[in-house]
């Protein structure tokens, strides 16, 4: 069984502070994919990043960066110089290979989400 | 369309009524997923479609829930005899494999969801 834990339920920061969102996962599979999604007040889940289990290279995209460490089963997300528009719920998710009906597919297992509030 | 769309945005119904929720996936996406987001359970998988077939229905919570997909495109999630515990946001996602990639490797793109409130 897979499990994703986001221990931080809520985080509150002041604009321009850096903030790190933690994600720890459990899986018995050697091949899997990890994702981060952002859910603004509008409700839509917005895709941020995908990482496969064989690629531990950290990634930076603008103010966003991700730290994937297989040894600790963690996939943390950092926002540098946070802005009010970053306020949202952030979800970490995990999927592996599934097969049914002759096709492979992935169904996401989500963490409980972290509510990030950035104050001006 | 450019993204996944869902309708209605909000639905309020009385206990015992049937409801239908609609999802329009990204054009050309062969895979379609339904998820439910509730306060108690978080985000959970309901059903997966490949084309018009649903090889994985394992997340449907009861036989009051059903879904279909027609023309390899639009999907409808139907909840019969709604109960208050069905109140949640129902999210639809779609994806499609790129050349040389398996579907499970692909990103799922989500719609805005339908907020269902059962009174």
How high is the pLDDT of residue A32?
Answer: 92
Q: How far is it between the farthest Cα atoms of chain A?
A: 52
Chain B residues with beta carbon closer than 8 angstroms to that of A102: 55
**CB contact residues (below 8 A), chain A span 43-62, against chain B:** 43-47, 50, 52
Q: Which residues of A82-119 are buried (b: 16+ CB within 10 A; e: fewer)?
A: beeebbbbbbbbbbbebebeebebbbbbbbbbbebebe
**Contact call for B42 and A97, based on CB within 8 A:** no
**Contact call for B93 and A45, based on CB within 8 A:** yes
Which residues make Cβ contacts (< 8 Å) with residue B81, sequence separation at least 6? Answer: B16, B17, B18, B64
**What is the mean predicted confidence (pLDDT) over B13-24?**
98
Residue B1 in this model has a pLDDT that exceeds 70: no
CA distance A15 to chain B (A): 27
| B7 vs A: CB within 8 A | no
Q: What is the pLDDT of residues B44-90, one digit of tens each?
A: 999 999 999 999 999 999 999 999 999 989 999 999 999 999 999 99
How high is the pLDDT of residue A77?
Answer: 94
| CA count, 13 A, side-chain hemisphere, A98 | 20
């Amino acid at each position: 069984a897979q499990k994703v834990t986001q221990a931080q339920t809520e985080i509150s920061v002041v604009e321009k502070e850096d903030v790190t969102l933690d994600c720890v996962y459990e899986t018995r599979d050697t091949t899997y994919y990890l994702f981060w999604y952002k859910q603004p007040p509008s409700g839509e889940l917005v895709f941020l990043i995908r990482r496969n289990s064989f690629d531990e290279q950290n990634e930076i995209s603008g103010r966003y960066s991700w730290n994937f460490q297989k040894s600790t089963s963690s996939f943390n997300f950092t926002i540098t110089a946070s802005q009010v528009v970053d306020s949202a719920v952030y979800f970490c998710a995990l999927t592996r290979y599934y097969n049914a009906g002759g096709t492979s597919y992935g169904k996401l297992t989500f963490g409980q989400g972290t509510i990030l509030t950035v104050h001006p | 369309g450019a993204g996944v769309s869902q309708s209605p945005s909000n639905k309020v119904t009385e206990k015992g009524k049937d409801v239908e929720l609609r999802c329009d996936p990204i054009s050309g996406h062969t895979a379609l997923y339904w998820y439910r987001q509730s306060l108690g359970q978080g985000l959970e998988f309901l059903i997966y479609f490949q084309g018009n077939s649903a090889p994985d229905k394992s997340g449907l919570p009861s036989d009051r829930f059903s879904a279909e997909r027609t023309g390899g495109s639009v999907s409808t999630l139907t909840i019969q005899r709604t109960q208050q515990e069905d109140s949640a946001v129902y999210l639809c996602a779609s994806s499609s494999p790129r050349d040389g990639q398996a579907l499970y490797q692909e990103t799922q793109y989500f719609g805005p969801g339908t907020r269902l409130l059962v009174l």
